[in-house]
Amino acid sequence: MVALKKIGFIGTGIMGAAMAGHLMDAGFEVSVYNRTKSKAQGLINRGAHWCETVGECAKNQDVVITIVGYPKDVEAVYLGEGGIVDSAKEGAYLIDMTTSSPILAEKIYTAAKVKKLHAVDAPVTGGDVGARNATLTILVGGDEDDFNALQPVFAAMGKNIVYEGAAGAGQKTKACNQIAIAGTLAGVCEAFAYAKASGLDVEKVYSAIATGAAGSFQMTGVARKGLDGDFNPGFMLKHFGKDLSIGSETATAYGAALPVLAMVLHEVRQLEASGEGNLGTQALLKYYGVIE
C-alpha cells in the first residue's frame, strides 16, 4: 500500500482548523484553502501551505479533505469547473467530512470513479470539542478498501471510526444522528418549559433529572450552556437546520415519516428567521420560552 503523506484540506472553520492541525501533528504535509484566509492563518503560521484556490489545494495531493458549509458548497468544490474532481491526481483519495446529502455523496463517488479517484463520505459527530480533542466519531461510506487505506488519516482526527457501507452510507448515518439529537434536545427544552410554566425552580429540576434516566449530552452539554446564558456555538443553529433539512428531504425520498424531525426543523427555522441562526443549538430554549 502506498503511504499517504500529502493532504489538501479545504474548509478551516470551527472544526476544520482543529482537524487539520491534528493531521499536521501526525506528520502529514498539509496544504490548506479557505474562502476566508484569516481562518487558516493559525495553520499557516504552523507551517501549512496556503493555496489560493480549491483546485490548487487538490492538485498533487495523496488525500483531499473537505469540511465546508452546505451541500451546494460541497457540490461546487468537488464538481465545479477546476474543482477537486477536475484537479486531483489519479489515485488520490477524496474525503468529504461535511454533513451533506447522501444523494450528492453518491454523485461525487460516481464522478470520482470516472477519473480513477477514490471518494468517500465521512461526516463527523462530536462538535468543536471532539475536533479540538481529536475524539470525533467518523461515519464512512464508500468502498471498504478505501476506508481501510485511510485509517491513518482518520485516526489522527477521531476515535470512533465506523465503516457504514456503500457511498452515501456515512451521510445517511449522520442524518440518523441529527434526527436523534433533534428529538432529544426538543424534549429537554419541553421539560424545562413545563417546569417553568408550572412554577418549579428550573435549576432544581435540572439537578434532579440531569443525571438520571432523562440525562443526555443534550441536557448536560448543550441545554446547560443555555441555562447559564451562554449561547456561543459549539454547533451553530443554522447548520443544525441545514442538517435537519437534509434528513427531512431524504426521508421523503426514502418514504420515511418523521414528524418529530419536521416539528424541530420548523422551530429552528423560526429562530433563524428572528436572527438567531448563528447561536448554538441551545438557543432552542428560547423558542420554548425557558430563556428570554
Total-model pTM: 0.93
Integer Cα distance of 6 and 17 in angstroms: 17
Q: Is 174 a catalytic residue?
A: yes
What CATH number is given for 173-287 in this structure? 1.10.1040.10
Please report the pLDDT score of residue 1 as a whole number.
55
Nearest to 24 by CA among 41, 2, 4, 48: 48
The catalytically annotated residue of 172, 174, 238, 242 is 174
Q: 175-204 pLDDT, tens per residue?
A: 999 999 999 999 999 999 999 999 999 999
- 3-class DSSP string for 185-214: HHHHHHHHHHHHHCCCCHHHHHHHHCCCCC
pLDDT over 90 at 292, yes or no: no
Grid coordinates 467530512 are at which residue? 97
- 222 forms beta bridges with none
Instruction: Enumerate the CATH 3.40.50.720 domain ranges in the chain, comma separated.
Output: 6-167
Q: 145-165 pLDDT, tens per residue?
A: 999 999 999 999 999 999 999
Average pLDDT over residues 76-84: 98
**Cβ distance 234 to 222 under 8 Å?**
yes
Rounded to the nearest 10 degrees, how much is the dihedral formed by the CA atoms of 211, 217, 223, 229? 100
**Cβ distance 20 to 134 under 8 Å?**
no
Please report the pLDDT score of residue 127 as a whole number.
85
Please report the pLDDT score of residue 2 as a whole number.
65
**Cβ distance 102 to 250 under 8 Å?**
yes
Average pLDDT over residues 224-228: 98
Residue type, 70: Y
Instruction: Enumerate the CATH 1.10.1040.10 domain ranges in the chain, comma separated.
Output: 173-287
Checking DSSP bridges between strand 136-141 and strand 124-125, what pairing results, if any?
antiparallel
What CATH number is given for 6-167 in this structure? 3.40.50.720
Tell me the CA end-to-end span of the chain in Å, nearest whole number.
57
Q: 127-142 pLDDT, tens per residue?
A: 888 999 999 999 999 9
Integer Cα distance of 205 and 191 in angstroms: 9
